[in-house]
Structure formats: structure tokens, C-alpha cells
Copies of this chain bind each other. A is one copy, B any other.
Amino acid sequence: MEYPFFSEKDSVDVVNGRMADDINPRLKEVMTSLIKHLHAFAKDINLTQAEWEFAIDFLTRTGQICTKERQEFILLSDALGFSMLVDAINNRRPEGATENTVFGPFHVEGAPELPMGSKITLDGKGDTCLFEGRVLDLEGNPIAGARIDVWSDNSDGYYDVQQPDIQPKWNNRGVFVTGDDGRYSFIGIKPVSYPIPDDGPVGQMLAALGRHPYRPAHMHFMVVADGYQKLVTHTFVGEDKYITSDAVFGVKHSLVAPFEKLDGGEAQWRSEYDFVLVKNK
């Protein structure tokens, strides 16, 4: 029989050769690469039958722990640096533009739009912090009408949606729209570090790898303006003990923001950060 049956050596060609010619060309490209890398992985390390069985069970448990409120496969992607990689691939920007980072699972659509300077922290917990700065284009011109959606955890390390019975609705969330000066300002808290959910398969994996589940303190920003690429990012508290070991690899050097202690005034801290957007192509 002339047909090339399966063999260890030809495994990639045999599997990829089975795809029909008339399928979606992008699907073909993605699957061809997936098979190539998946098979190379098993060959590189001589994956054992027992390791394969463990992987099948791990993936099954990861799928079965997912609910409407919990997405363990996203967590897995995050913990393997895969989410950050996909984010980086899809948001390559010129020097000077603000860098993206992962969106995270805690954004909520529909947060109240508030006047500049408003206080978004509603539970009275934690150190207050004045966040302010400008939304600019690459030439340094202010962008008017930029919509800035912000969210953070409270000082106990939980987002409002994680504690719907404890925290006020929209605690540490708000939307601000810039005027002609491109400026924004609001009072939140100086955010605190918190662990990603670590009571499932991903937590077990992190423990086995000798990694902790913590994310360094950060404030989330999503900035959208007509004619510009959407920016999804955080600013980070540089002094955080987890700043160099974010469980999801979200930190970039340029996203570490200043947090300065204030003497009196309406907030205890101040963090100034300008967002620089890139025009749509």
C-alpha cells in the first residue's frame, strides 16, 4: 500500500495532509502550525503515556471547573503568558505610544459616567489616590472626547463584582470623557495586590511550578477615542512586592506609574500618567 500511514517521523505531514483543500484558508494555516508545534513538543520531551494521561485529566478538570463566573482556561492562558503574548502580537505600537496589557476578567460594561475629579471609591476603605493626566496623540496634542473607563479592586483585594453583597455597586469604577485639554482626573484608592483564583487546576499548576498566584497592585484603564486604536492597559504601583513576578505577566516597564504621598488635600496619594494613543490606520 502506497498511502503514507502514520509514523512518529511523518506524524505532522500525515495529520496535516488529511485536511481538505477547500476549507477556510486561515483555519488551515492555524491548524497546520498547531499540529507542527504540538507534535514537536511531544517529540522534544518524549512525552510519556502517564504524562499524556495527566494532561488529559488536567484539561478536563480545567474545563469542568468553568462556570459563568469563572473561566479557568483564560486563567491558564494568563498563567502561561499566552494571554499577554496574544495581546502583544495584536497591539504592536510605535515608540512613545502607551503599551497595552491584558484586559482581565473584571471589567463591567455600563459603569457610570462621572464628572472629572469624581470619587469612584465608595466603600471608604483604603488609601485614597488622585489619578490624573492627559490623553494625547503621538505628537503630544490633547485628544478631546476620549472615553476613559477605569476599574480597580478595593483595599481588601476584591473587585465589586466578586463581592456583590459586601461592596457598593460600581465601587472603584467609573467612566470619564476628556474635554479639549485632554485631561482626566478622579479619586480612587491606591490599589493593592491580590491573588488570581488559585483553588483549581491553575492554582495547582502554579504551586507545582513554585510560583505564587499574586498580581501586583494596578489600576485598569480602557481608553477609546474616535480615530484612534483602543488602549487596554493598567498602571502599576512600582513598589509592590510582586511587581517583578505578576502571576499573569501583565507588567511592562512603561506601565509602572509614580505614586506620590500627598500632605493633606483631598487624597492621600497622587498618580499622574499620560496615555498616548495611536491613530487608526
Chain A residues with a Cβ under 8 A of chain B: 1, 3, 5-8, 11, 14-15, 18-24, 27-31, 33-49, 51-52, 56, 59-64, 66, 71, 73-74, 77, 80-90, 92, 208-211, 238, 243-245, 249-253, 256
- CA of A46 to CA of B29 in the docked complex: distance in angstroms? 11
Residues in B neighbouring A23, C-beta threshold 8 A? 208-210
What are 13 A-B pairs with beta-carbon distances under 8 A? A1-B238, A3-B244, A7-B252, A8-B92, A18-B209, A29-B45, A33-B44, A34-B80, A49-B90, A52-B82, A56-B71, A56-B77, A59-B73
Residue of B with least CB distance to A18: B211
Interchain CB contact under 8 A, B19 and A82: no
Residues in B neighbouring A43, C-beta threshold 8 A? 85, 89
- CA of A8 to CA of B8 in the docked complex: distance in angstroms? 32
Interchain CB contact under 8 A, A6 and B82: no
Residue of B with least CB distance to A15: B81
Interchain CB contact under 8 A, A48 and B90: yes
A40-B42 in contact given A52-B77, A73-B60, A89-B8 (Cβ < 8 Å): no
Interchain CB contact under 8 A, A210 and B22: yes
Residue of B with least CB distance to A19: B209
A41-B45 in contact given A20-B210, A89-B8 (Cβ < 8 Å): no
A34-B41 in contact given A6-B84, A85-B11, A253-B5 (Cβ < 8 Å): yes
Q: How far is the CB of A7 from chain B (nearest CB, A)?
A: 7
- CA of A104 to CA of B238 in the docked complex: distance in angstroms? 53
Q: How far is the CB of A82 from chain B (nearest CB, A)?
A: 6
- CA of A272 to CA of B27 in the docked complex: distance in angstroms? 43
Residues in B neighbouring A24, C-beta threshold 8 A? 208
Residues in B neighbouring A20, C-beta threshold 8 A? 209-211
Q: How far is the CB of A12 from chain B (nearest CB, A)?
A: 8
